[in-house]
Amino acid sequence: MTYGRTNPLPATDLVLYVDLTPPACIPHYSCESNRDMAGARLKIGITCYPTYGGSGVVATELGLELARRDHEIHFISYSQPIRLTGPEPNIHYHEVEVTRYPLFEYPPYDLALATRMAEVSQLYELDLLHVHYAIPHSVSAMLAKQMLAATPPRRNLPFVTTLHGTDITLVGLDRSYLPITRFSIEQSDGVTAISQYLRDRTLKMFDIKNKIEVIPNFVNCDDYMRKPEWNEQRREYAADDQRILVHLSNFRPVKRVLDVVEIFDRVRKKIPAKLLLIGDGPDRSQAEWLAVQKGIHDHVMFLGKQDQIREKLAMCDVMLLPSELESFGLAALEAMACEVVPIATRAGGLPEVVEHGVTGFLADVGDVETMARYAIDLLSDESRLRKMGTQSRAGAQAKFCTSKIIPLYEDFYRRVLERSS
């Protein structure tokens, strides 16, 4: 287990680190004696945005799940991923140090990342790199691959890119990034998207020729569930006769956090309730201001960024996710697993996650009246609320549990490695 700002490598590793002497053969896939790929233990480098975005959460949870399945996982990023909270077997973390130099108005993180990816891949004999969010991670992986291919023993290091959303729908469409995003996707040895919506949109907007496989996001249904001991902390937030609505996001404009406050204001007029807002970001202060303007600020709690959100989710009744766009909507899925009914928008990949009227409710973007009505109707009927909560969890379990999705990634890696060997 390697954690912390500097990488406390043992002395023998340090010798290798400087020397970069190649091993006799690359385990698992490059060694002729070990060609049986099915069931083999993989060594995977994972790069993501380590802060509060959904792509970083998915990447970290994927690494943790793969490590539990006895794969060796190496996170490579500029800081420790947020959900990587404690020592875990089979998990290593390698920090990317970006040197600041007066000439660099913009320190070249993508180059430092590429260098670290190549070093870690060489030193720890990684089988492949898996990068989450195309920009710039895919480009860095492409460079790392080229460096290793050009340096004796000229090994091939495949890399997989997972597209999450705004890397395609916003950032990737910016003219300064579009050509390189398209190029790095096409250079990837495997590409996955987290919803059918995102796959289709990528193919259409980027005119990508290579195959994109849909592997949806997932939730650990054993970790994310209602547990009586977590329910006890409910009283810290609400009285027994009050409902709890929750919103979880990075408070960017695409999340429409002001709509959350608008919806809650309408609900609060009919039903005793509290609103928990988990996360932080650019629109938080506007949301705080709006809650004050409406005189409901005593019932709205801004909890800020939280490491462990499942305990918080599991004491809530309804999740509000009125986003302008979600390629998937991981927050809705995590809520569903905790029997918290999502009320969301009919946008992007959300209809692939939430079945309207069965596992949650969907409305048009900006239609706060309808979303408030769904919440009021549901929250005023205890048995319907509990029934729908059960259905929400069943929907999450049926399609998105780790036990179903992680094997899809393992299978995908094996196919990529077979193609690349």
Binding of residue 82 to ligand GMT (CB under 6 A): no
Q: Identify residues 241-260 at the interface with ligand GMT (CB under 6 A).
A: 250, 254
Q: Which is nearer to ligand GMT, 60 or 122 (CB)?
A: 60
CB 326 within 8 A of CB 197: no
Q: Quick one: which segment of 96-104, 160-168, 264-272, 408-416 binds ligand GMT (CB under 6 A)?
A: 160-168
328 binds ligand GMT (CB under 6 A): yes
Among 47, 140, 166, 192, binds ligand GMT (CB under 6 A): 166
Q: How far is the CB of 250 from ligand GMT (least distance, A)?
A: 6
Q: How far apart are CA 251 and CA 31, in angstroms?
A: 48
Tell me, residue by residue from 101 to 140, as one string, x for binding to ligand GMT by CB under 6 A and - for no binding.
--------------------------------x-------
DSSP per position, 210-240: S--EE----B-TTTSS--HHHHGGGGGT--T
| Residue closer to ligand GMT (CB basis): 329 or 389 | 329
Whole-Å CA distances, 173 to 166, 253, 347: 9, 17, 18
Pick out residues in 168-227 that bind ligand GMT (CB under 6 A): 194, 217
Supply the DSSP string of 10-44, one letter for each residue: -HHHHHHHHH-PPPSS-TTTTSGGG---TTPPPEE
Looking at the Cβ atoms of 2 and 77, the one nearer to ligand GMT is 77
Cα 361 from chain centroid (whole Å): 23
Instruction: Please report, as residue ranges, which positions from 332 to 351 form the binding site for ligand GMT (by CB under 6 A).
Output: none
Nearer to ligand GMT, 54 or 389 (CB): 54
Applying CB under 6 A, the span of 67-75, 100-108, 134-142, 159-167 interacting with ligand GMT comes to 159-167
- Residue 167 CB, nearest approach to ligand GMT (Å): 7
- Give Cβ neighbours of residue 15 (< 8 Å, ≥ 6 apart): none
Distance in angstroms (rounded) separating the CA atoms of residues 98 and 394: 45
Tokens of 168: 């395609």
Told to check if 322 binds ligand GMT by CB under 6 A, we report: no
Q: Which stretch binds ligand GMT (CB under 6 A): 143-151, 267-275, 320-328, 391-399?
A: 320-328
Kindly state whether residue 325 participates in binding ligand GMT, applying the rule CB under 6 A.
yes
Give the start-end residues of each E strand in 206-312.
213-214, 243-248, 273-278, 300-304
Contact 395, 3 (CB under 8 A): no
- Residue from the set 141, 219, 321, 330 that interacts with ligand GMT by CB under 6 A: 330
Binding mask 28-67 for ligand GMT (x = CB under 6 A): -------------------------xxxx-x---------
Q: How far is the CB of 312 from ligand GMT (least distance, A)?
A: 18
Distance CA 359, CA 265 (A): 24
Rounded Cα distance, 94 and 419, in Å: 28
Pairing of strands 243-248, 318-321: parallel
Residues making contact with ligand GMT (CB under 6 A): 53-56, 58, 133, 164-166, 194, 217, 250, 254, 325-330
